[in-house]
Amino acid sequence: MNPIDLTARELAAAIAAGDVTATDATQAYLDAIAAHDGAIGAYNEVFPAQALAQAAAVDAARAAGEPLGPLAGVPVAIKDNMCLDYGHTTCSSQMLKSFQAPYTATAVQKLLDAGAVILGKTNLDEFAMGSSTENSGMSPTRNPWDTDCVPGGSSGGSAAAVAGRLCAAALGSDTGGSIRQPAAFCGIVGLKPTYGCVSRFGLVAYGSSLDQIGPMTRDTADAALLTGIIAGGDDRDSTSIHQDVPDYLADLDTPLEGLRIGLPTEFFTDALDPEIAATIDQAVETYRAQGATIVEVSLPHSRIDTDAAGQLSSFAVATYYVVATAEASSNLARFDGIRYGHRTSEEIDDIVELYSASRAEGFGEEVKRRIMLGTFALSSGYYDAYYNKALKVRRLIKNDFDAAFAQCDVICCPTTPTTAFRFGEKTDDPLQMYLADIYTISLNLAGLPGVSIPAGVSTGNMPIGMQLIGPVFSEPTLLRAARLFETHSDLGILTPPAR
């Protein structure tokens, strides 16, 4: 048995049963990273010594007959915008390239407490701003399905590591689609939990009213396992919600009685790649065959339009790029070369000029664009026209979802309008890049959970993702609905051709 072929759950069971040691499993992944990550670039930093020490501790605990955590010995990867009290936490930015966090993010600590082995930190678009990892201040990550294509973003490193068998599971963060879009592009499962479900203590903030940490895994059972481990209230994150964490795995395989699937009319327009539309249609038929009722629902303020020139547009994307950039401009103010981050080596006496020079050197182009956009939207005289207006539209978007969930339990739609695109295809026009999240962004504005699962493979042999959306804290239903498709489609766990 090759430990790399197992899901996180299977590997935890194999280690607990003594079929493989945590040390051998960890070494197998370290070898895979050494052999293949040169071509993929999923990791910013790998921790062989610490990972092997964590694995040895699991093996010793097992030998001593001590109880093992649910992820004991399972090698995982962490997006490099989550703090870990060793190594670096760079957010793939030159601004933080030498930052060593003095503490560990709650979600990461919970994985460690469950026995997980941390292989390393994965690449992202700088400060999680982007949809392809091309905005990384380090170097881009490649899609294991086709290395000429992007893995999606911003959690592209985590997605590529899971798909490329360079870890058993990973954590990502999602502000507007950054878990689900790369999951779709790489053929894996990615869950963005309800806002407040998972603590963000130790997650470097991007858009604080939108950010959530979530699992990126090979199948829905692993997503359920990891969500159960990382979810729950945390006194160190006042936006996290204190309530009992359900056992997401308990009823995962029990079919949902009377499941009502909603299809938003506004999402199935000419703008959608016909092959993706056909794949989602087929998935809907799988649900129908399992006894689900299919209903049409309406999300007018998340409507996807195409203008005469074929250009996509959506209120949700416009709203998001005001709210997210406004929050980013404020969150990123702390990186000034004094309190945090890169300081210019120029001899400058004036403090404002020192800030300015340090930030000009430390931040990449897209991050600067976002800071300027957000600062403008919040500035006196423009606040009402942009920021307040965006908040009003945000409410309308949320109200549409509330109305839709009176008619259905789960909304089903594509995760992305196309499959993974090629490097450079969207880098000249930021708006084109922003539109890659047209199906994922409205959920973050509404605080809802969403999961992307593989729904098919295109004729070009690239994965196609399907997104399921539910009301707040409906993760148990969402995961069961995802599992229903997973077990009744012929797809199985997708493996990229080269692995």
Q: Which of 122, 131, 279, 416 binds ligand GLN (CB under 6 A)?
A: 131
Closer residue to ligand GLN (CB): 286 or 314: 314
Pairing relationship of beta strands 312-313 and 305-306 according to DSSP bridges? antiparallel
- From 49-57, 122-130, 413-421, 445-453, span contacting ligand GLN (CB under 6 A): 122-130
Stretch 396-415 residues interacting with ligand GLN (CB under 6 A)? none
Q: Which two tokens stand for residue 42?
A: 């999923």
Q: Residues near 208 by Cβ (< 8 Å), separated by ≥ 6? A: 200, 239, 327, 331
Q: Which two tokens stand for residue 358?
A: 């340090």
Closer residue to ligand GLN (CB): 192 or 480: 192
193, 231 Cβ separation under 8 angstroms: yes
Q: Which two tokens stand for residue 3?
A: 């430990």
Which residues are catalytic, by number?
A: 79, 154, 178
Q: Which of 128, 205, 225, 408 binds ligand GLN (CB under 6 A)?
A: 128
- In the DSSP assignment, the letter for residue 425 is S
Q: What is the distance between the alpha carbons of residues 249 and 270, in angstroms, rounded to a whole number?
A: 38
In the chain, the amino acid numbered 151 is: P
Q: Would you count residue 176 as binding ligand GLN (CB under 6 A)?
A: yes
The site string for ligand GLN over 422-461 (x = CB under 6 A, - otherwise) reads: ---------------x------------------------
* In the complex, minimum distance from the CB of residue 324 to ligand GLN, in angstroms, rounded to a whole number: 5
Q: Would you count residue 332 as binding ligand GLN (CB under 6 A)?
A: no
* In the complex, minimum distance from the CB of residue 436 to ligand GLN, in angstroms, rounded to a whole number: 7
Angle between helices 8-17 and 48-63 (to 10 degrees): 50
* In the complex, minimum distance from the CB of residue 296 to ligand GLN, in angstroms, rounded to a whole number: 28
- From 65-73, 170-178, 216-224, 269-277, span contacting ligand GLN (CB under 6 A): 170-178
* In the complex, minimum distance from the CB of residue 363 to ligand GLN, in angstroms, rounded to a whole number: 14
Q: Is 321 exposed, middle or buried (0-12, 13-18, 19+ CB in 10 A)?
A: buried
Q: Which of 37, 59, 174, 409 binds ligand GLN (CB under 6 A)?
A: 174
Report the 10 Å Cβ neighbour count for 360: 10
* In the complex, minimum distance from the CB of residue 174 to ligand GLN, in angstroms, rounded to a whole number: 5
Query: Nearest-CA neighbor of 79 among 184, 213, 229?
Result: 213
144, 171 Cβ separation under 8 angstroms: no
Q: Which of 23, 26, 109, 154 binds ligand GLN (CB under 6 A)?
A: 154
145, 496 Cβ separation under 8 angstroms: yes
| Nearest position to ligand GLN, beta carbon | 178
94, 52 Cβ separation under 8 angstroms: no
- From 175-183, 299-307, 372-380, 414-422, span contacting ligand GLN (CB under 6 A): 175-183
Q: Would you count residue 371 as binding ligand GLN (CB under 6 A)?
A: no
Closer residue to ligand GLN (CB): 312 or 491: 312
Q: Which two tokens stand for residue 72?
A: 């004991």
Q: Which of 3, 130, 417, 447 binds ligand GLN (CB under 6 A)?
A: 130
- From 45-53, 168-176, 329-337, 343-351, span contacting ligand GLN (CB under 6 A): 168-176
Q: Where are the beta strands (DSSP E) in 146-235?
A: 169-174, 189-192, 212-217
**Locus of tokens 């870990």:** 84
- From 171-179, 194-202, 227-235, 308-316, span contacting ligand GLN (CB under 6 A): 171-179
Q: Would you count residue 227 as binding ligand GLN (CB under 6 A)?
A: no
Query: Nearest-CA neighbor of 163 among 61, 279, 37?
Result: 37
Note the residues at the interface with ligand GLN (CB under 6 A). Answer: 128-131, 154, 174-178, 206, 324, 437
